């Protein structure tokens, strides 16, 4: 693969048997757009067939963060119309997420800085996920009327206890001590050693986990450890109303702080996200989860709450969204059922043919 132009938003090249992908849209905190997802997919597919590529390394240019998410402005503008462009983006992004999930060659993601939304989608499937003291992880979608997509329905319910439910509903931000303790990230390496780590990963392309193990240090005590019992107890319910009631009944400062946070989120998004996680927990394949999230994505971006959330948080920045429906009891089960309903068969999301083959092979072996 030839060396890309410096202005490319994705830098993809091979170095000593390592396929390297660098997110290169620093002014937008590397927010993913359709072209970036397409370029990453093309590179991964090319390296899949290349016996000279032994592993993949994903990182970012600059120091502001790994990836703040997807191109929310584009998605909102599309959702205000027929959502065709948004659906095209989701279809491509989710195919990339799935390809990474089933990829047979080890992927290392270095999440040095902000990693949210779409950034989680292109790092969480990696076998080796390296955090630094600058890492800030969150799935903040309920605050903009969305839901934790890009595989959140699969990854979050598989975190310890009910921590995934808590993260999905509150949008809580975690630093490396918590992300490593919860296995969101596999290793902690100080930021000052990241360049040295990358050099070693390229020098030893065959076993990135062993390389990361050599560099890994103790991330320190995890603040959420003090609240694990409360999280597992208070977020274990299958309705948002029960979670609200449990937090209020508990009455501790921490529980009431979580309740206050939840009360600021979109009631519709809270109900969608909780059902997404409870459904995702019972699915047998990542592809099934992505099909569910694709159904949701194309519909939710057209709702009032997503449009209003983007206006309040991203465009006008007044942080005062007027949610509609404005209360949990006004968000009916019928409404949620409609958002989750299957699409007509030709419109359903499907994985890339190469990725579907990889998934079948791993299941059969």
Give the pLDDT of residue 6.
53
Mean pLDDT of 57-70: 91
Q: Which of 71, 141, 178, 308 is catalytic?
A: 141
User: Can you give the pLDDT at residue 358?
Assistant: 86
Q: Taking the model in full, what pTM does it have?
A: 0.95
| Active-site choice (149, 162, 308, 359) | 149
pLDDT digit string (tens) for 328-356? Answer: 999 999 999 999 999 999 999 999 999 98
Whether residue 141 lies in the annotated active site: yes
**Position 1 pLDDT exceeds 80:** no
Distance CA 277, CA 298 (A): 18
Among 118, 119, 121, 298, the active-site one is 118
Considering all CA atoms of the chain, what is the largest pairwise distance in Å, rounded to the nearest integer?
61
* CA–CA distances in Å: residue 269 to residues 262, 279, 311: 10, 15, 16
Per-residue pLDDT averaged across 265-288, rounded?
Answer: 98
On the CB side of 96, CA atoms within 13 Å amount to: 28
C-alpha–C-alpha distance, residues 237 and 242, integer Å: 6
Instruction: Quote the CA–CA distance of 35 and 49 in Å, as a whole number.
Output: 22
Q: Is the pLDDT of residue 101 over 60?
A: yes
Residues in the chain: 365
Catalytic residue among 70, 79, 117, 164: 70
pLDDT of residue 63: 80
Is there a catalytic annotation at residue 242? no
- Comparing C-alpha atoms, which of 32, 14, 104 is closest to residue 70? 32
Residue 2 has a pLDDT of: 52
Structural domains present in the chain: 10-353 (3.90.226.10)
Active site residue 69: no
Q: What is the H or E stretch that residue 290 is in?
A: helix 286-300
Does residue 118 carry a catalytic annotation? yes
Read off the pLDDT of each residue in 173-196 and give the average, rounded to a whole number.
Answer: 98
DSSP assignment string, 221-264: --GGGGGHHHHHHHT--SSHHHHHHHHHHH--HHHHHHHHHHHT
- DSSP symbol at 70: B
């Amino acid at each position: 693969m030839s060396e890309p132009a410096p202005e490319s938003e994705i830098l993809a090249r091979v170095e000593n048997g390592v396929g390297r992908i660098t997110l290169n849209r620093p002014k937008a905190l590397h927010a993913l757009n359709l072209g970036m997802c397409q370029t990453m997919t093309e590179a991964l597919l090319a390296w899949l067939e290349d016996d000279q590529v032994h592993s993949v390394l994903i990182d970012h240019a600059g120091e502001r963060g790994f990836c703040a998410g997807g191109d929310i402005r584009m998605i909102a503008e599309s959702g205000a119309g027929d959502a065709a462009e948004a659906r095209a983006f989701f279809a491509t992004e989710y195919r990339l997420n799935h390809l990474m999930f089933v990829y047979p060659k080890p992927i290392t993601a270095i999440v040095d800085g902000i990693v949210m939304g779409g950034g989680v989608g292109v790092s969480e499937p990696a076998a080796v996920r390296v955090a630094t003291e600058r890492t800030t992880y969150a799935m903040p979608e309920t605050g903009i009327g969305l839901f934790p997509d890009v595989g959140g329905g699969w990854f979050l319910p598989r975190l310890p206890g009910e921590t995934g439910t808590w993260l999905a509903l509150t949008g809580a931000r975690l630093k490396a001590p918590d992300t490593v303790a919860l296995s969101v990230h596999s290793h902690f390496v100080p930021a000052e050693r990241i360049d040295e780590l990358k050099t070693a990963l390229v020098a030893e392309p065959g076993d990135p986990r062993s390389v990361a193990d050599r560099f890994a240090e103790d991330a320190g005590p995890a603040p959420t450890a003090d609240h694990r019992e409360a999280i597992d107890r208070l977020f274990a319910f299958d309705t948002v109303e029960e979670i609200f009631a449990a937090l209020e009944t508990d009455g501790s400062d921490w529980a009431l702080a979580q309740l206050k946070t939840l009360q600021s989120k979109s009631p519709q998004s809270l109900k969608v996200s909780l059902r997404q996680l409870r459904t995702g927990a019972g699915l047998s394949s990542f592809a099934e989860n992505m099909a569910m999230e694709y159904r949701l994505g194309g519909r939710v971006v057209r709702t009032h709450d997503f449009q209003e959330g983007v206006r309040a948080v991203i465009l006008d920045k007044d942080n005062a969204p007027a949610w509609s429906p404005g209360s949990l009891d006004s968000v009916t089960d019928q409404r949620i059922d409609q958002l989750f309903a299957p699409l007509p068969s030709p419109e359903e999301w499907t994985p890339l043919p190469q990725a579907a083959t990889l998934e079948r092979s791993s299941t059969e072996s």
